[in-house]
Structure 1
Amino acid sequence: MSDMKPSRRRLLSGGLAAAIGAVSGCLGGSVTGGPSDDERDRVLRLVLDDAGETLSENAVVDPDETSPRWDEAAFEAVRAGDSYTVQYRKPFFSTDEDPTHAVHDGTYYRLDSVVVDEAETTRPVLRLFGVDEIGAEDAGENDTDATGESDIEVVDAETLPTGDRRAVEIAYFAARARGNVGGIPVGLVERGGYVYRNENAVEASALLAEDGPTRVVYRDTTYRVAIDRERFYEPVYRATSEVVAESPERMEAILRALKVGPRVDEEALSADAREVLERAMYDGYEESHPYSDAYAEVLRSLHERPYLDGNVRKDAAPQWTDSEMVRYEGRYYDYRLVFKPADGDE
């Protein structure tokens, strides 16, 4: 049997009918309906990534086996039926789209939180400015002493405590982006700098001290240090939990319902369609429209009919789709579909 992926250069250079005929004969039949010019000049690529035999292995946290990123004290409290609140950050990072599950002594929990209050607080904010920048925010109160003589202390960021090094790194991103479009890491930079929220980092900070340095060197550049203490209004979260399963089998069924879309039966597929899936698992598989019977069979088994039944360009996703999960041959796979321009051989 010849290669299932015809050269896209051959398809575009006048050998379209012959190439499609060869693909159809190899894969066992006709191809899907007529393409437009826009549809013919692209290929649809399918990639499958192995996600293992069980979902629980990666989707359920066992604090006895590994240290979770979330608040372990909150998990202990909710198991005991005690009230536990935390300010600003959710205790379990759980969302409706990506719920957090945990297991303890054979019992499986879905962890979440609800907002029960608002807290007003004052927090230090670090901002960095170029030494030649002039403005109220970076006036540099500690740059001169009472006699008017220079009182500038310069430190290298690498010599600072861990919390300060993290603060300088994030404040640097804000300083670099200031006056430019974009370039600020979302979720890290806040109010044009770094907000200290960890009490241990505040206590250990050298930058926040009354006699702290007024200049810091980061990435071979000297920056003016500006510290402000600003008012914040933050949510107060109460940790919640719900028992959802008492056995690994039930937990696995819950995760399948949450995460898995199509369930593909190997025996229900033709040999050519199975080969398409195997190639997609190994190195990805792609074809130009109109697709072979085998590729169309795979797309239907994945419930991706917009790529077959509608206007391919308008109805199907033009870029990577959101990652979907399929169960096939007793294993789970993350799969993605993407259009690529047919601009030459692979």
Structure 2
Amino acid sequence: MPLHRRRLLTAGATAGLLGLAGCLDSLDDETESSNATQLRLTLVEAPTPLREGYVVEFGETRRPDDDDAFAAALAGESYTTQYRTPFGSRPDDPRYVRHEGTYYRLGSVVVDEAATTHPVLRLSEVADAESSDAPEAVQADSLSEADRGTVHVAHMAARARGNVGGAPWGLVQRGGFVYRDAERAAESRLVGDDAPSHVAYRGTVYELSVTREEFHEPVYRATAEPVAESPERLEAILRAQFVDARLSRESLSDEARSILLTARVDGYEESHPYSEAYRSVLTGLHARAYLDGNIEKDAYTDDLGTGRVLYGETYYDYRLRFV
């Protein structure tokens, strides 16, 4: 082959490869653009004023011991519970009550440990309910509402052991359902000598196993701490605890206010680099870590993306996530 022809073919191949590379780069750019991650902001209205979500009325809590626990705490007497805290209060979700013009924060302290025994029900899958060799089983639908709930929790624990779906760790304990309420255990058809050996639930037959096991539980003493003499003072206390950011309509542009309106209705999202209006909203939420568009590589992104904001006169729970 003549030298000049070889040079032409080589040049043509090189040009073709360069052209193909250019096309691939263009396709990569287009794909990257079409798959660009967007940062979505959603706003959900929270109780306004905040005290509406934290001040309780004992008659509406469906906890019959609340009145007795509060009266004992006011009198400086000891009122204790096991497993469940008095008033249902937690450090991250406190409860308050108003009594004779004063607001009290309800809570508890651990004062002891108690050993107690509870029945634990576990399920083990044995057969498909339609199988000809499935053992005789009671139908879950024929059980009481409480027992159906027990079977459902134990079913999720059994399912998790097979790595199919998760389980609500909190309801599920020790791989099954723990009867911490003695009255519920006494009324349950699934506990006792005459309990069925198998139950059919959601197309599967499970073998029932009930064991009595020892638990070591904290003993809680109810507390009631006076914190405020007026609704306004309590509101300030709650803001100090739970409001992460404050936005003023006057300090925001029309575009930023429009973003917040959309976030309240359908959620609002943009791809990085964000518009100046979106950047101002993120800055106002103290979510500056999102501004460089690189936060997905950072640790604990989910912890950064939620909070509560006071916008105007209304509180909102906000969430930032990538979609």
Q: TM-score, normalised by structure 2?
A: 0.77
- One-letter amino acid of the counterpart of residue 85, structure 1: T
Would you say the 8 A contact 1:128–1:223 is kept in 2? yes
Distance (Å, rounded) in 1 between the aligned partners of 2:295 and 2:144: 56
Partner of 2:239: 256
Kindly state the Cα deviation for residue 201 of structure 1 after the two structures are TM-superposed: 1.1
Q: Does 1:111 align with 2:95?
A: no
- CA deviations on 1:90-145 (whole Å, 9 max, x unpaired) are 2233333322223334322212211111111222121222346xxxxxxxxxxxxx
Give the match for residue 18 of structure 1: none
Deviation at 1:284, TM superposition (A): 2.2
Query: Closer, same or farther in 2 for the Cα pair 1:258/1:70, shift >3 Å?
Result: farther
In the aligned structure 2, how far is the partner of 1:83 from the partner of 1:94?
Answer: 17
Unaligned runs of 5+ in 2: 1-28, 128-134
Q: CA–CA distance in 2 between the matches of 1:176 and 1:208?
A: 21
Percent identity between matched residues is 53
Which amino acid is the alignment partner of residue 290 of structure 2? Y
Q: Offset at 1:276?
A: 2.4
Q: Name the SS for the 1:83 alignment partner.
A: coil
Equivalent residue for 1:284, pick from 267, 270, 278:
267
> Over alpha carbons, which structure has the higher Rg?
2
For residues 81-230 of structure 1, the aligned pairs below 5 Å read: 81-131=76-126, 154-180=137-163, 183-230=166-213
1:45-84 equivalences under 5 Å are: 45-64=40-59, 66-68=60-62, 71-72=65-66, 73-84=68-79
Name the SS for the 1:255 alignment partner. helix
For the 8 Å contact 2:287–2:305, the answer to whether it is kept is no
- TM-superposed CA distance for 1:337, in Å, is 1.7
Partner of 1:245: 228
Q: Secondary structure at the match of 1:294?
A: helix
Cα displacement string for residues 26-75 of structure 1 (whole angstroms, at most 9, x for unaligned residues): xxxxxxxxxxx89x9332222222225311112221224x2256852423
Higher RCO, 1 vs 2 (CA within 8 Å, ≥6 residues apart): 1
Residue 233 (structure 1) aligned with residue 216 (structure 2): yes
Rounded to whole Å, the distance in 2 between the matches of 1:68 and 1:104 is 19
Give the counterpart letter for 2:168 in structure 1: P
For 2:284 and 2:223, how far apart are their aligned partners in 1? 39
Deviations 1:77-101 (A, max 9, x none): 3234321111122223333332222
- Counterpart mapping for 1:312-327 below 5 A: 312-314=295-297, 318=301, 321-327=304-310
CA, structure 1 residues 254+159, in 2 after alignment: closer, same or farther (shift >3 Å)? same
Determine the structure 2 residue equivalent to 1:26: none
Q: 1:292 to 1:225 in 2, by over 3 A?
A: closer
For residues 218 and 97 of structure 1, do their structure 2 counterparts lie closer, same or farther at Cα, with a shift above 3 Å needed? same
Q: Aligned partners of 1:113 and 1:158: how far apart in 2?
A: 39
Distance 2:240 2:195 in 1: 55
Asked if structure 2 preserves the Cα contact closer than 8 Å seen for 1:43 and 1:287, the reply is yes
CA distance in 2, matches of 1:334, 1:282: 13
Equivalent pairs counted in the alignment come to 287
Q: Aligned partners of 1:47 and 1:70: how far apart in 2?
A: 38
1:270-310 Cα shifts (integer Å, max 9, x gaps) = 23322222222232222222222222222222222223368
Decide whether the 8 Å contact of 1:307 with 1:315 is kept in 2: no
The residue number in structure 2 matching 1:43 is 38
* DSSP-derived class of the 1:92 partner: helix
Q: Please identify, of 72-81 and 296-305, the stretch whose mean Cα deviation from structure 2 is larger.
A: 72-81
Partner of 1:9: none
- SS of 1:187's partner is coil
Equivalent residues of 1:318, 1:339 under 8 A apart: no
For 1:270 and 1:165, locate their aligned partners in 2 and report how far apart those are by CA, in whole Å: 54
* Contact preservation (8 Å) 1:62, 1:104: no
**Aligned to 2:189, what secondary structure does the other structure show?**
coil
- TM-score normalised to structure 1 length: 0.72
Q: Counterparts of 2:30 and 2:203 in 1: how far apart (Å)? A: 54
For each residue in 1:207-252, what CA deviation from the matched residue of structure 2 results, as whole angstroms up to 9, or x when unmatched?
Answer: 2222332232323433322221122222111111211112111111
Gaps of 5+ in 1: 1-11, 15-36, 133-151, 341-346
User: Bigger CA drift: 178-187 or 257-266?
Assistant: 178-187
